[in-house]
Every structure is written in C-alpha cells, then in structure tokens.
Amino acid sequence: QVQLVESGGGLVQAGGSLRLSCAASGRTSNRNGMGWFRQAPGKEREFVAAITWILGDTYYADSVKGRFTVSRDNAKNTLYLQMNSLKPEDTAMYYCATGSSLSITTMSNRRVYDYWGQGTQVTVSS
C-alpha cells in the first residue's frame, strides 16, 4: 500500500502563486512516476502534470504549460507542483497519484494510476 497526502492548497487571487506538496509513504519503491490531476465541480478529473521518478522527465497539460512546474524530491519521497500566474479556471480540487506501470504514452491517463491522495483545494479569485 502507498499513502499520499497533499498539502499547500488555498485561496489566491488571479495572477498569484501556490506550491502544492504530496508526501508519499508506504511501499513506494516500485512506482515509476507520479502525477497531478484536478477536478472542478461538475467536471471530470483531468491531467495536470506528471514526472518520472528516476529520470525526472516531465509532462504537462497544454492548459498549464509555462505556468506550472512539477518536481520531486526523491530523498523526501515528495512531489511538488509550483503554480504561477494562476487563473480562475485553475480552481479545482488537486490530487496527486502514483503508479508502477506508467509510461510516456499513459502518464496523462488517470486509469493507470494505482494510488491517490485525498486532494487539496485550490481556489483562484478573479
């Protein structure tokens, strides 16, 4: 089992920044990547960003490219999402997830992730 705990969400004005964290614990040795997803009320959960755990290759949704940066600290087993130039449409519950069979072609697909956190709310006011 893997446990994921997100933190860092909050209320911010448009144009502002937030940094989300996701601490992983448990049986984390066999996972090969982690990702961030978000879900706004009435909408499906969508991919935001992902990173491979060993090489640190990163992938982003087009809507956040150039504004968000995903990173990880292997020693701390922690995933981060630095969010800059936030927009009201970024408002959502943000979830981190991890899996052991992620690949370049599947990292944006929420169905390949095995474990999920409880989420942290991000609200961007206009």
For CA atoms 111, 44, 78, 85, give the dihedral sign. positive
The gap from C-alpha 54 to its chain's centroid, in whole angstroms, comes to 17
Sequence-ordered list of residues with C-beta below 8 angstroms from that of 42, at least 6 positions apart, any chain: none
What's the confidence (pLDDT) of residue 28?
80
Work out the number of other CB atoms within 10 angstroms of the CB of residue 38: 22
Q: What is the mean pLDDT of residues 88-101?
A: 96
The closest alpha carbon to 79, from 112, 116, 104, belongs to 116
The overall average pLDDT reported for the chain is 95
pLDDT at 103 exceeding the cut of 90: no
pLDDT at 114 exceeding the cut of 90: yes
The rounded percent of the chain whose pLDDT value lies above 70 is 100
Q: Encode pLDDT of 12-62 as tens digits.
A: 999 999 999 999 999 888 888 999 999 999 999 999 999 998 889 999 999
The closest alpha carbon to 59, from 123, 6, 109, belongs to 109
Distance from C-alpha of 107 to C-alpha of 55, rounded to nearest angstrom: 14
Strands 68-73 and 10-13: unpaired
